[in-house]
Structure 1
């Protein structure tokens, strides 16, 4: 169980947002925090604290007028911590190798492999052929519908028909090295984790999985550890004092599988 730091970039700025509020139309989101520092500053901080394996997420679509500035910030972060961070947001088989060459350790992919509401196995194969499964993280971020968790795409705005299950995890594990899973309905709210989702992921636990969403206190982090039996890595965003929250960054940064 490790802390995985994050750099979320929206409209050219490092931000923490409420995940379920993100809308491509008008590049809107409910914002919890906007940093005055650029993305490279955060990457240098993570590098200095030896926190490898975090993620950089571009939250604007390529059609957005803010996309190029958001991408510029992401590339600055990659150069500041070469080989230290993963990157996601608009990744395809055509641009994945370019991000790896720019310094990303892995590419994070959702929408390219989940299209028209279903898993696109052809695109998944194209991605694996382009960069190798060992450099791929599949983002299985999900939202609850009818008592089940379904994978969402297009920056968490579009439901697919793919239900998150151990069967799906088993299939996809053969095409990537890790999973990243945001509990989108609690993302950015610091209101508690998605307990059923955490139990499912912790019970499965066959390759590394990073969970994000809802951890708002050190007590909630301890609860998360108990729910997943220490088998999942975790991300804390809005609740971290680095982003205006109450959890000390230094406390999270020191957490490398140790007891709370």
Structure 2
């Protein structure tokens, strides 16, 4: 189907729908685990279905956002959101060559992949090629979600953001991967959901390095963060605000963010 324009000239706000056990939630990223009995720290759990948010993003012309399934039990809710905004959202979380087409058929403009293309902490180029064969570069987003290690560098983390890989988010990595996908999504996991401010050095690094569309997520707390990311990211890095939005129980007015976006487009 037709796809919404991604990043036509300048920075954009990118919305999100994070799903956990089939419910739209905002959680503290660093508290996810594989243990189904150990609940992550939640900032918000919605009483409205995933499609409610997708309908809203569609009505407000906010393409290129992401639906993220945090663990199992989210497929139905994910498909409902994708169907509500055809061509308007990316799908991530547990995506692999076997299920990618199902999400694209349901209306995802792109699929987002991380864990599948890593094996034993290393990027597996064969697995990446396998994904590319199924979805094609134009519809693939690579998620470089990362956390800081003692050496001061950021490394990609996989498996619900618990497992460190040996892939640093740096110039070499970005150069080697930007020819393999259409966009990057970068969650700064250490600040994800904490509403304590963005990781400025990640945004600045992305602004210096990226030549393809890129979305940063993690820690955005105020409207000022939109301006900050625009500045640090040199207009090349889009921003997702999650927990801080009033539609997810926070204090930043979603309507103000939509108005900001309209101003950027003017």
Q: Is the 8 A contact 1:179 1:210 kept in 2?
A: yes
1:87 aligns with 2:98: no
Gaps of 5+ in 2: 1-10
Counterparts in 2 of 1:37-56, with a 5 A limit? Answer: 37-56=48-67
CA RMSD of aligned residues (A): 1.3
Q: Pick one of 127, 132, 146 that aligns with 1:128.
A: 132
SS in 2 for 1:191: coil
> Residue 254 of structure 1 corresponds to which residue in structure 2?
259
> Residue 71 of structure 2 corresponds to which residue in structure 1?
60
Q: Is the 8 A contact 2:174 2:210 kept in 1?
A: no
Q: What is the CA deviation profile of residues 5-24 of structure 1, one whole-angstrom value per residue up to 9, with x for unaligned ones?
A: 00000011100000001112
Q: Is the 8 A contact 1:55 1:85 kept in 2?
A: yes
SS in 2 for 1:159: strand
Gaps of 5+ in 1: 62-66
TM-score normalised by length of structure 1: 0.94
TM-score normalised by length of structure 2: 0.92
> Residue 14 of structure 1 corresponds to which residue in structure 2?
24
Q: Is the 8 A contact 1:240 1:246 kept in 2?
A: yes
Counterpart Cα distance in 2 of 1:53 and 1:254: 17
Q: How many residues align?
A: 252
Counterpart Cα distance in 1 of 2:137 and 2:250: 35
Structure 1 residue 56 displacement after superposition: 0.2
> Residue 117 of structure 1 corresponds to which residue in structure 2?
121
Counterpart Cα distance in 1 of 2:260 and 2:181: 25
> Residue 109 of structure 2 corresponds to which residue in structure 1?
105
